[in-house]
Structure 1
C-alpha cells in the first residue's frame, strides 16, 4: 500500500508523511544548531593567541623606548657632572648640548636652543655676502611676529634687532641671543639638572636597561569572563 501524500499547493510541492522522513531530518537540524551556538576549540585557541600577542606588544614598546636611549648611555658620570658646573660647560660639550636639546623638547621650548645655535653659526660667517641670507632666515624663523619658532623677546630687543636686519652685521643678533641665553640659564637649565635623565647619568645608571618588571603571562579574570570551561578540547 502506498504512503499517503500531503499536498502544499502554495509551494507547488508534495511531501510524504512517512515517519522515517522526520526521523532523518529533525536530528540533522538540531545538530547544526548546536554546532553554531557552541564555541569550538579553534575559536578558544585564537582568543588565547590574541591575548598573548597583546602582552608581547606592550613588552616590545618598552624595549623600543629603551633602545632610543643607548646613545646617552655612552656619557660617563664624570662628564655629566661637569655639565652641572655651569651652563657654558653644558653647551660647550656636544653630548651636553644634545641632552639639553632633548630635554627642552619635552618642555616644548626647543626653539630657544635652536635660535642660540643658529646665532652661533651666523657669527661664523666669513663674508658679508653670507650675512644677509642667514640674517633673513633667522629673523623670519625666530624673531618676526608669528614666526614659526618665535622666541620670547622684550619689545626693545626685538625692535633693535628688526632695525639691524636691513644692514646685518656680525653683532646683529647679539642682544637677542643674550636674552634667550639668560632665559635658558635661569629657567630651563636648573630644571634640566633636576631631571631624571640627567640624574641617571650622574649616578651612573644605564638608561638603556631600565629596571622594568616583566609582565606576567598569567591572565586576569576579566580576560576570561566570557569563556566557559570545556575540558573536551584539551
Structure 2
C-alpha cells in the first residue's frame, strides 16, 4: 500500500510540473515570459490566487473603469440640472450648432430623443466629446474599447446607425486606439441628429411648452 501511495504522489507532482511548464510555454508564445522564472506568478489551479500581480492589475482595471464610468455620469447630471434662460432657449431654433453648444440645450434635446427611442445618438456624441478630453493613453484605450462595445458593436442594444465606410474606418482605427478613433462616426451621428431629430424637436410641443414656461413671469412669493 505504501508503494502505491508513493507512486500516486509522484504522479501528482509530475502532473503539477507539466501544468506549470505549459503555462510558461503559453506565456512565452504571448511574449509575457517573466525575466526570472523563480519570480513567476504562482501556478494555482483555483480562482482564489492572491498573487500581488493579480491584485495590482485588478486595482488598475478598477481605476480605469471608474474613470470612464463616473465622469460622463457626472457631466450628464450637471447638464440635466441646468435650466435655460429664455434667450438661450430661443437661440436653439436658429441652428443645431447653437443647440449643441448649450449644456441645457443638449439636456432638453436628449430628453426629446428619449421619447423617440434614439437617445443613444446623443449618448454616443457625448462619449466621444469626453474621449477627446482624455490624455492618459491607458484610459484612452479603455474608453475606446467601452465606446465600441456600447455604441458600435452590432450586439449592443445601444448601437448607433453608421454606414459601412465609417465602420471600416473605425475597425482600422481600433488597431491603434486614440482620442480621434471615432471622429468620422461622431460627425455622421451629429449630421443624422441635425437632419432628422432636430427639426422635429424645434416643431415639437415640448419645445413650445418650454418657451411658454420661460416667458411666463415667476409666481409672486
Normalised by the shorter chain, which TM-score bucket?
Answer: 0.5 to 0.7
Higher RCO, 1 or 2 (CA under 8 Å, sep at least 6)?
A: 1
Cα offsets for 1:47-81 (capped at 9, x unmatched): xxxxxxxxxxxxxxxxxxxxxxxx89943322210
1:218 maps to which residue?
A: none
1:126 maps to which residue?
A: 135
Q: 1:136 to 1:89 in 2, by over 3 A?
A: same
Cα offsets for 1:58-109 (capped at 9, x unmatched): xxxxxxxxxxxxx899433222101112112111111111100000000000
1:188 to 197, 203, 220: 197
Shift of 1:148: 2.4
Q: 1:74 to 1:164 in 2, by over 3 A?
A: closer
Q: 1:149 to 1:74 in 2, by over 3 A?
A: closer
Distance 1:73 1:127 in 2: 30
Tell me, yes or no, if the aligned pair for 1:200 and 1:206 is still in contact at 8 Å: no
1:139 maps to which residue?
A: 148
Distance 2:82 2:158 in 1: 30
TM-score normalized by structure 2?
0.58
1:99 maps to which residue?
A: 108
Q: Which runs of 5+ in 1 are unaligned?
A: 1-70, 208-234
Distance 1:183 1:138 in 2: 19
2:71 maps to which residue?
A: none
Tell me, yes or no, if the aligned pair for 2:86 and 2:215 is still in contact at 8 Å: no
Cα offsets for 1:182-213 (capped at 9, x unmatched): 00000000100001111122234689xxxxxx
Q: Give the CA RMSD over aligned residues.
A: 2.3
Tell me, yes or no, if the aligned pair for 2:124 and 2:151 is still in contact at 8 Å: yes
Between Structure 1 and Structure 2, the one with more helix by share is 2
Q: 1:205 to 1:132 in 2, by over 3 A?
A: closer
Question: 1:1-234 residue pairs with structure 2 within 5 A?
Answer: 74-204=83-213
Distance 2:114 2:182 in 1: 23
Shift of 1:120: 0.2
1:63 maps to which residue?
A: none
161-170 or 98-107, which moves further after superposition? 161-170
Q: Which runs of 5+ in 2 are unaligned?
A: 1-79, 217-221
Cα offsets for 1:138-193 (capped at 9, x unmatched): 00110022222100000110111022112112211000000000000000001000
Distance 1:121 1:139 in 2: 14
